[in-house]
Amino acid sequence: MTHHDQPTALGEILELLAEHGFDGMAQAIGVLLDEVMKRERTHALGAAPYQRSEHRNGYANGFKPKTLHTRMGPVTVRVPQTRGIDFYPSALEKGVRSERALKLAVAEMYVQGVSTRKVAAITEKLCGLEVTSGQVSRAAAALDEELQKWRSRPLGETPYLILDARYEKVRLGGSIVSCAVLVAIGIDPQGRRSILGVSVSMSEAEVHWREFLASLQARGLHGVKMVTSDAHAGLKEALAARLTGVPWQRCQFHLQKNALAYVPKPSMQPEVTAGLRAVFDAPDRSEADRQLDLAVKKYRAVAPRLAEWLEQNVPEGLTIFTLPSGHRRRLRTSNMPERLNEEVSRRTQVAGLFPNEGSALRLVSAVLMEISEDWETGRRYLTMGPG
C-alpha cells in the first residue's frame, strides 16, 4: 500500500504546480506534508496499514484536519491519528517554534502600538489568531516556558567553545536602541556541535559577556580547551575572569578584514591579504611566526601603522596551531556562527523592530533551538582524536 502512495502524492504535487504555478505551492506543501506524516506514522507503528506484524506498536486511527498558518498562506493537512501509542508528526513540530515566535513578535508590536498600518493590516492573517493583549500574553508565556527549558538545560564537557555577538533593534522607552545577542556554540567530546546558550541585553560589554559565561558554567559547562571568537568588546576581559587560562583563538577571517583598515593604499591590499594568508596557511607555528616576521619587516618603513598592528594582533589568530591539524580549519574562524547569523537574520528581518528584549530573545532562541536540534542529530562536525 505504502509503495504506491509516493508516486500518487508526487503526481498530485506535480499536477498542482503545473496547473497553478506558485499559487499552488501551499497546496503542494500540504500534500507533501501529508505523505511525510503518513510515512512517519507507519514507522512509529512498526507496520504499514492493514499489515499483519508481530512487531506492531499500535494502530492507525484515521486523520484529523489541521490548518497551518504559514507565510505562503494557509496550508491544510491531514494529521495521522493512532490508537495504542502516543504519536505526533515531527514534520509539524519542526520549525513550529520559530514560526510561533515570529508571529508573536509581530503581534506584540501591534498590541503595544508600535506597528505601522501596514503591519496592523497583515497581523491577523499572519498570526492566524485574534490579536488581543490577553491572547498574545498567553501564547507568549506558553512558548517562553518551552524555550527557557532549552536555554537552562544542563551542559557538560565541551572541548571547543565558539562565541559570537549580533545586534537587533529594540524599542526602549520611546527610543530605538541596538540590543546585543550573545551566542555560544559548543563541540562535545564526540565531535558533535550544538548551540549551548543565548543571551540578550542592551550591551555586549564585559559585564554581559561575564554573566553569560557564568550562566554556561552554572549549567555544567566544563573541560573547555579553546575558545574561538572575534575580538568583541569586553570579551577578552570576561574570558580572563571566567575561563582563566583557556587559550583564545581570534577569528582569522576578521583579522584579515581588520588589517585592511591599516593599509595606506588600496593598491597594497591584495599583497597584504596574500601575506596574511601565508601566515594562516603555514603548516606549523614556527613557519607562521616566520611569515609574520617577514610581513612586519616588509611594512615597517612603508606602512608603519600596519606593521605595528600586525605585530600586536595577528599572534592572537595563531593559537590554533596548538590543536591537531585535522581540527584547525574548522576552528580558526568564527564563520560557523556567521552562517548561523544569516539564518537568524532571515527571521528577525521579518519582525524588523522588536517591542522589547523578551520578544527578541524569544524569536532568536526559537530559531537557534531548531538549528541546534538538527546539528545534534546530524553528522559529526569534527573527528575527535589524534591528527
Residue 19 pLDDT: 73
The two beta strands, 175-187 and 226-229, are: unpaired
- Are 380 and 190 in contact by the 8 Å Cβ rule? The answer is yes
Position 370 scores a pLDDT of 84
pLDDT at 366: 85
What average pLDDT score do residues 275-287 get? Answer: 96
Kindly state whether residues 65 and 126 are assigned to the same domain: no
Does residue 326 share a domain with residue 258? yes
* Closest C-alpha to 37, from 14, 70, 15, 68: 68
318 assigned to some structural domain: yes
In the predicted model, is pLDDT for residue 9 greater than 80?
no
**Pair (30, 48) in one structural domain:** yes
In a domain, 69, yes or no: yes
Tens of pLDDT along 149-165? Answer: 999 999 999 999 999 99
Domain match, 86 and 106 both: no
Q: What secondary structure does DSSP assign to 197-255, as a single string?
A: EEEEES--SHHHHHHHHHHHHHTT-B---EEEE---TTHHHHHHHHSTT--EEE-HHHH
Q: Which domain holds residue 266?
A: 252-333
What's the pLDDT band for 227 if we cut at 50, 70, 90? very high
Output the CA–CA distances (angstroms, integers) from residue 232 to 78, 206, 212, 213, 217, in the order listed: 48, 9, 14, 14, 20
* Mean of pLDDT values over 297-317: 95
Q: Tell me what pLDDT residue 105 has.
A: 62
Q: Is 220 left (phi over 0), alpha (psi -120 to 50) or beta?
A: left
Query: Is there a single domain that holds both residue 83 and residue 112?
Result: no
Q: Are residues 8 and 50 in the same domain?
A: yes
86 and 101 housed in the same domain: no
Dist. CA 160–CA 380, nearest whole Å: 14
Share of the chain above pLDDT 70, in %: 78
Q: pTM (2 decimals)?
A: 0.70
Query: What confidence tens digit (pLDDT) does each residue in 28-52 have?
Result: 777 777 887 888 888 888 887 777 7
Domain limit, last residue, from 298, 314, 333 = 333
**Residue range 57-67: average pLDDT?**
84
Does pLDDT of 126 surpass 70?
no
How many angstroms separate the CA atoms of 225 and 36, rounded?
42
Instruction: Give the Cα-Cα-Cα angle 257, 263, 265 (nearest 5 degrees).
Output: 125
212, part of any domain: no
Domain termination residue (choose one: 73, 90, 107): 90
pLDDT of 241 > 90? The answer is yes
Mean pLDDT of the region 246-260: 95
Q: What is the pLDDT of residue 1?
A: 41
Q: Is residue 173 part of a domain?
A: no
Q: Mean pLDDT across the stretch 178-194?
A: 94
State mean pLDDT over 77-89.
82
In this structure, is residue 21 part of a structural domain? yes
Same domain, 81 and 27: yes
Same domain, 120 and 77: no
Q: Decide which of 284, 306, 333 is a domain's last residue.
A: 333
Residue 99's pLDDT is: 63
Residue 169 lies in a domain: no
Residues 264 and 322 in one domain: yes
Task: Yes or no: say if 183 and 340 are a contact pair by the CB < 8 Å rule.
Answer: yes
In a domain, 62, yes or no: yes
- Which of 10-24, 72-86, 202-216 shows the lowest per-residue confidence on average (mean pLDDT)? 10-24
Question: Do 124 and 140 lie in a common domain?
Answer: yes
Cβ atoms 301, 308 nearer than 8 A = no
Q: Which of 119 and 271 is assigned the larger pLDDT?
A: 271
Say yes or no: 19 and 47 in one domain: yes
Mean pLDDT of all residues in 130-135: 56
CA distances to 169, 182, 198 from 353, rounded to whole Å, are: 5, 18, 19
In a domain, 323, yes or no: yes
How many folded domains does the chain comprise?
3
